[in-house]
Amino acid sequence: MKTGRIIRSLAGYYDIMMDDGVVERTRARGQFRQKNHRPLVGDFADFESENGEGFIWALHDRKNDLVRPPIANVDLAIVVTSVVEPAFSQNLLDRQLVALEAAGVKPVLYFSKMDLLDSTDRQNFDATLAEYRAIGYDVIVSDEDVATAFQPILKNQVVVAMGQTGAGKSTLLNTLAPELQLETGVVSKALSRGKHTTRQVSLILVPAFEALIADTPGFSSYEVFDFPVEELGNYFPEIKAVSGQCRFRTCSHINEPGCAVKEGVALGSISQARYNSYELFYQIIKGKRPVYQKTSQKWRQ
């Protein structure tokens, strides 16, 4: 029996890399389909192989997993967010951050295409960057020395790069590791949507960072809320930090008096835009379906 990490999944086959760097192709035995427990890229698996044919027998327990993108056992996620083309959506960004917080995966925020902002828009958008930094998130922007900024963050980590189609995930990874030569796409101005250049989840060894980095398919929306509404506040760090000061222990931070979160919004210590995301997600989880606004450009004048 051999053990390794699944680094690629394609058409029912799973490529498994062992500690010595050797990669073997396997298939999952029927027991996984019967139990509806599908192997994911990032899983550690026990397998046997003979005459070039391998079969996965068992999966190890996961420390975490994500539904979108489907990947397991990651240390951190680079959330790639375009500021234009496609237009910046704080709603979409906050959805991804909530999903990562719920899964226990550390987010790193990367904002692409900063050079396309004029000086006024850049100054206004800096206020949004400051809000996320104040929460405690690592924030990196595309018009700085990206490789140097990422070096201490990515070293010896298992990383997933995720984000909207056309946001620039493959472009970022090509910057970090030019030898990868990943295909990049051009955003359609008519659809404000990028060509899908990544069609599978694959973990790629990047020697410069001694890291495994996953490039993943993009998406145009993000609808993952698979937890009780009472837990939502735990996945907004700035809300979690003050919620213990609310008058009621079960405060939803929506209508109750003596709410420390709403007081923080009124005083400016909690971002109004972030609270708007919280309020929208709360209603969605409760079963109410307000109109989903894809773009949020409050920084534009």
3-state helix, strand, coil in the chain (%, to 5): 35, 25, 40
251 known member of a binding site: yes
Q: Could you tell me how many residues make up the chain?
A: 301
- Could you count the other beta carbons within 10 Å of the beta carbon of residue 36? 6
21 known member of a binding site: no
112 known member of a binding site: yes
Which bin fits 163, alpha (ψ -120 to 50), beta or left (φ > 0)? Answer: left
114 known member of a binding site: yes
220 known member of a binding site: no
Q: Name the nearest CA neighbour of 92 among 229, 272, 296, 301.
A: 296
253 known member of a binding site: yes
113 known member of a binding site: yes
96 known member of a binding site: no
Sign for the CA dihedral angle at 98, 100, 105, 109 comes to: negative
175 known member of a binding site: no
54 known member of a binding site: no
167 known member of a binding site: yes
Q: Is 242 helix (H, G, I), strand (E, B) or coil?
A: helix
26 known member of a binding site: no
165 known member of a binding site: yes
227 contacts 122 by C-beta, under 8 angstroms: no
Binding residue ranges for GTP: 112-115, 163-171
Binding residue ranges: 112-115, 163-171, 246, 251, 253, 259
Binding residue ranges for Zn(2+): 246, 251, 253, 259
